[in-house]
Amino acid sequence: MKTKPYTDLFARVREKRPLVHHITNYVTVNDCANITLCAGGAPVMADAPEEAAEMAAIASSLVLNIGTLSAAQIESMILAGRMANERGIPVILDPVGAGATRFRTDTTKRLLHELEITLLKGNAGEIGVIAGVEATVRGVDSFGLSGDPLTIARGLATTLGITVAVSGATDIVTDGKHTLLVENGHSLMGSISGTGCMAASVTGVFCAESKEPVTAAAAALAAFGLAGEKAAAVSHGPFSFKTALFDELKNLTLQDLAAGARIRTP
């Protein structure tokens, strides 16, 4: 695997420190802000309808996360998303819990319809629901889907004309034509809340400095997963792991990513 595209992007991120505007959920908002900093970006969390568009106008990317959804938040997402589309900055949508309730599912479909989403990042259950296949989501957790995740992700990406990332033991990133598989990560990443939300934030950082969302998402997920592997080696349980996860991503070097990223084509 040639790692130069990923390490070059990582270097640009660290040099440029892109501003990533989040409209996200209150459970993980602080974690998302801090992981953005550790990845090399600058976070801003502005979800009031009165300022959402204005903040998006000065950002380098926009991350939308429906984890704790409300009507006011949806309004802010639409306003910020339209501004992001007008400015040509990438929009990352994390459809947390899509399929668990009609409100979440319908909101995801609305955002995909009304906005130009650059990258849709979810777990297998969420992506399956959006793709219209049989899938099980309980709360915000995926309990699988009927069918091959890679085939489903490719089909959805082609239908929507966007990049789709499916998180799992092996992450899938595809635009329907180009597909990368990311095999970095550790099981402890599933032992704390918010790692999926944080992965979306890191993806927002990398997408801000790239016009190739497949490459950007793969690099982001590899860096985040590699930090998880390093954190697991020095931690003693979920909470020491969480602390170490931030430290390891902050301290991750280009050489670490070049040596440790496990990104491949199917």
Domains held by the chain: number:
1
pLDDT per residue over 207-249, tens digit each? 999 999 999 999 999 999 999 999 999 999 999 999 999 999 9
Q: What is the pLDDT of residue 135?
A: 52
Amino acid 140: pLDDT: 45
**pLDDT value of residue 142:** 46
* β-sheet bridge partners, residue 141: 138
| Burial class of residue 265 (count of CB atoms within 10 Å of its CB; 0-12, 13-18, 19+) | exposed
Arithmetic mean of pLDDT, 133-160:
73
Query: pTM value?
Result: 0.94
173 pLDDT more than 90: yes
CATH number for the domain that contains residue 143: 3.40.1190.20
pLDDT band at 144 (very low <50, low <70, confident <90, very high): low
**Burial of 59: CB neighbours in 10 Å, binned 0-12, 13-18, 19+:** buried
CA-to-CA distance for 53 and 17, rounded, in angstroms?
Answer: 21
- DSSP, collapsed to helix, strand or coil, labels residue 252 as coil
- Is pLDDT of 68 > 90? yes
- Per residue in 77-127, pLDDT (tens digit) is 999 999 999 999 999 999 998 988 999 999 999 999 999 999 999 998 899
**Residue 132: predicted pLDDT:** 84
Task: Please name the amino acid found at residue 193.
Answer: S
Give the angle 221-257-161 at the CA atoms, nearest 5°. Answer: 35
Portion of the chain with pLDDT greater than 70, in percent = 95
Predicted pLDDT at 99: 84
Q: What are phi and psi for residue 206, nearest 5 degrees?
A: -70, -40
| 48-56 mean pLDDT | 97
Amino acid 146: pLDDT: 60
Q: Answer whether residue 141 shows pLDDT above 60.
A: no
d(CA 149, CA 140): 18
Contact by Cβ (8 Å): 252, 40? no
Mean pLDDT (the chain, rounded): 94
Q: What is the domain extent for residue 252?
A: 4-264
